[in-house]
């Protein structure tokens, strides 16, 4: 999982000095290996905040469980999340409104936002993990105290609907946040090893899909596919496609100029995936990227009664004309085996090898 620090002595000194102050050094993003004559839209959109990395989590630290989105109706998911964090070596704190409920949401917007603010403000809490996803995360974004969060950088993780929270916090504070398993996820050996490497061990990790255990000459599982080959460097942003596009045009959208965009989704008809990618295209996002990594698009199928493009055709239509590296099938999304992906961290992608390499540690 480790990789050598591939930089000059000056770069290393700059990074170490910045890390000591709590602000990570941001290498200049390298241009994608694009075809001849490729063009880019002018730089525009949200400005990028100075990058800040949280302190690494250590055994004995307290991790708070929050629920920014959907309500959980049974007791067992809470027990599973507690047991998981304890098995990782952490103490567990429940945010005051974790078990609240209002309709389909885990409490009122004010309650859910208050829990996020309170856990960042509490010096006894070292990290914050979402219990689950669902829906409703967008509603709390205007109620968060981003200046408080900026002053108290700490681990914040989750995925699916938590895409809204982790991207908004990064966009408004510069804090590296984490597209990671939620409390109720299956924390198997693969997912745990990637979480520890990124969040607890500060590894310069290279992320690649697990080898298939199929007894076949050409295994079908864990395969990547290359839409357009090449390498690119840039800050990593993204998450769930539906949630990310629902934030379009807001001050909570991340900066996309020169970024590596990663996307996943679940239970969306293919024509809706097409529509959401069209939103990103029309908003000028796709023309400003350095590269794209596609994860699992779980149960994204044709709707009944509709003639449809395939997902492969949709991806080809939107990504091939960009002349930037793009690959899919990466191990993240609504699947068992999950990478932990740091939002905002400079990375290098290799669309031919199907890898993502951290260019600096995600934690200090």
The CATH number covering residue 148 comes to: 3.40.50.10740
Q: What percent of the chain has pLDDT over 70?
A: 87
Asked if residue 292 and residue 250 are part of one domain, the reply reads yes
> Would residue 127 count as lying in a domain?
yes
> Would residue 70 count as lying in a domain?
yes
Asked if residue 245 and residue 179 are part of one domain, the reply reads no
157 Cβ contact partners less than 8 Å away, ≥ 6 residues apart: 127, 128, 129, 130, 166, 177, 178, 179, 180, 181, 182, 199, 340
Asked if residue 233 and residue 181 are part of one domain, the reply reads no
Asked if residue 342 and residue 229 are part of one domain, the reply reads yes
Place of tokens 């539906």: 242
> Would residue 13 count as lying in a domain?
no
pLDDT value of position 173: 98
Residue among 349, 348, 2 at smallest CA distance from 204: 2
Asked if residue 70 and residue 188 are part of one domain, the reply reads yes
Asked if residue 258 and residue 187 are part of one domain, the reply reads no
The domain total for the chain is 2
Q: Which residues are catalytic?
A: 160, 264, 334
Cα–Cα distance between 290 and 236 in angstroms, integer? 10
pLDDT classification of 334: cutoffs 50, 70, 90? very high
Asked if residue 167 and residue 283 are part of one domain, the reply reads no
The DSSP letter of residue 255 is P
pLDDT value of position 21: 37
Residue among 281, 276, 283, 325 at smallest CA distance from 297: 276
> Would residue 44 count as lying in a domain?
no
pLDDT value of position 217: 86
> Would residue 31 count as lying in a domain?
no
Cα–Cα distance between 225 and 198 in angstroms, integer? 25
pLDDT value of position 294: 98
> Would residue 228 count as lying in a domain?
yes
pLDDT classification of 16: cutoffs 50, 70, 90? very low
252: number of Cβ within 10 Å: 20
Asked if residue 237 and residue 184 are part of one domain, the reply reads no
* pLDDT mean across residues, the chain: 89
The reported pTM is 0.87
Give per-residue pLDDT as tens, 157-212.
999 999 999 999 999 999 999 999 999 999 999 999 999 999 999 999 999 999 98
Asked if residue 244 and residue 284 are part of one domain, the reply reads yes
Place of tokens 């693969």: 190
> Would residue 33 count as lying in a domain?
no
- Kindly state the average pLDDT of the residues 215-220: 86
Cα–Cα distance between 53 and 119 in angstroms, integer? 17
N-term to C-term CA, the chain: 17
Domain range for 93: 62-192
Q: Are 199 and 57 in contact (CB under 8 A)?
A: yes
DSSP for 31-85, please give it: PP-PPTT---PPS-SSPPPPPB-PPPP-TT-EEEEE--SB---SSHHHHHHHHHH
Asked if residue 188 and residue 67 are part of one domain, the reply reads yes
Least confident of 28-32, 109-113, 127-131: 28-32
Asked if residue 177 and residue 80 are part of one domain, the reply reads yes
Q: Are 91 and 125 in contact (CB under 8 A)?
A: no
> Would residue 26 count as lying in a domain?
no
CATH number for 290: 3.50.30.60
Asked if residue 169 and residue 89 are part of one domain, the reply reads yes
Cα–Cα distance between 6 and 133 in angstroms, integer? 36
Start-end of H helices in 174-282 = 189-195, 241-246, 270-282
SS3 143: helix
């Amino acid at each position: 999982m480790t990789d050598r620090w591939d930089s000059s002595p000056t770069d290393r000194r700059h990074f170490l000095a910045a890390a000591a102050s709590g602000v990570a050094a941001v290498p200049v993003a390298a241009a994608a290996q694009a075809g001849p004559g490729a063009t880019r839209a002018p730089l525009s959109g949200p400005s990028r905040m100075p990058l800040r990395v949280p302190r690494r989590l250590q055994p004995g630290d307290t991790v708070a469980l929050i629920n920014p989105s959907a309500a959980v109706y049974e007791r067992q998911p809470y027990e599973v999340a507690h047991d998981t964090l304890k098995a990782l070596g952490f103490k567990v704190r429940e945010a005051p409104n974790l078990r609240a409920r209002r309709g389909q949401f885990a409490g009122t917007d004010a309650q859910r936002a208050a829990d996020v603010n309170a856990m960042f403000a509490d010096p006894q809490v070292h990290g914050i993990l979402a219990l689950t996803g669902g829906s409703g995360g967008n509603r709390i974004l205007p109620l968060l105290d981003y200046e408080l969060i900026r002053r108290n950088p700490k681990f914040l993780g989750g995925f699916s609907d938590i895409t809204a929270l982790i991207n908004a916090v990064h966009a408004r504070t510069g804090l590296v946040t984490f597209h990671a398993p939620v409390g109720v996820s299956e924390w198997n050996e693969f997912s745990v090893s990637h979480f520890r490497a990124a969040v607890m061990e500060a590894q310069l990790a290279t992320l690649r899909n697990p080898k298939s255990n199929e007894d076949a000459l050409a295994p079908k599982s864990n395969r990547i596919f290359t839409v357009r080959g090449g390498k690119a460097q840039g800050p990593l942003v993204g998450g769930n496609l539906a949630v990310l596009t629902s934030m379009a045009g807001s001050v909570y959208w991340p900066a996309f100029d020169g970024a590596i965009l990663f996307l996943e989704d679940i239970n969306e008809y293919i024509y809706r995936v097409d529509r959401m990618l069209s939103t990103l295209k029309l908003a000028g996002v796709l023309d400003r990227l350095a590269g794209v990594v596609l994860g699992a698009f779980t149960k994204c199928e044709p709707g009944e009664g509709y003639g449809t493009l395939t997902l492969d055709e949709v991806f080809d239509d939107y990504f091939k004309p960009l002349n930037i590296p793009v690959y899919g099938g990466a191990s993240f999304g609504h699947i068992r085996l999950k990478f932990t992906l740091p939002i905002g961290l400079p990375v290098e992608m290799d669309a031919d090898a199907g890898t993502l390499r951290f260019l600096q540690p995600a934690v200090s």
